[in-house]
Structure 1
Amino acid sequence: MSLKTVVAAAFRHLRKERLQKVEFIYYISIDRKWMNKDQAALLLERARDEGLIIQKDGTFVPAFDPAEVDIPLGFKPSGDVLEKHDPVERLVADIARKAGAETQSIYAEMNRIISDTFLGNLMPEAAVVILARRYQVPFGTYKPELKEKLMTQTNSKSD
């Protein structure tokens, strides 16, 4: 289940439009017993990093309408909700699904684009976008993350 579903569950089940950090952590760790307090705090930080919640005046507000999220009966998040997946990995997986190929072959094709076509002067984030276009896989939702990753890498190399 997605991180968005977990966040929506907290706001909907507590019937609040704003939650304090302690309320969110209490709901996730003690009320629902989905994870421990540290994991719940990490989940909150990850939701903020991904733009699912916004911090305003010491409280957290969802950046989406929790009522529009389908929360299955008996919902319990899996451990992978805490993992932050690389946008390149997720887009490669989408391309592999669309192409009916293994992710390793998509990575190999991406590496060929980088080394053969661009002589090693292309970042993986750009190469995966080329592949997404080639296989007609929508990548618009990944653009902000890919751009941020490129900017972070560029800034760290210039330091």
Structure 2
Amino acid sequence: MRSLLVSWQFWALLSAVFAALTAIFAKVGVENVDSDLATFIRTVTILLVIGAILTAREQWQGWGAISTRTFTFLILSGLATGASWLCYFRALKIGDAARVAPIDKLSVVLVALFGVLFLGERLSEWNWAGVALIAAGAVLVAYRG
């Protein structure tokens, strides 16, 4: 069990499960409320839960322990997350969850591309085939034919 808890695959799969639940819960939750307000409620909830986890595990660090570069990129990541959530909730408000979520998951394709272009990561031919299949799959699932 301990090896499972330090496995990136385990945590990535758990992330996928929670992301799927996010889409379903959000689709129901956004039905009778403005999508931006729904995003705000979700964000406050996340803030409170993560704050409680940090407190319970005594993981708070002083701001001085965080470099300016790290802080800058975490702020940029937060801004990108916020923009993503606002767009995602707006899409869920007007579209089917089963079609919105796959298009949102095109982020997997973009991460692969950005990782290669900006981070110098390398993908094998098999990896690129997987990226292409993910892109094709997302389009096919979202297609209303």
Q: What's the TM-score once normalised by structure 1's chain length? A: 0.30
Q: What's the TM-score once normalised by structure 2's chain length? A: 0.32
- RCO (CA 8 Å, sep 6+): is it higher in 1 or 2? 2
In proportion to residue count, which structure has more strand? 1
Structure of larger gyration radius: 1
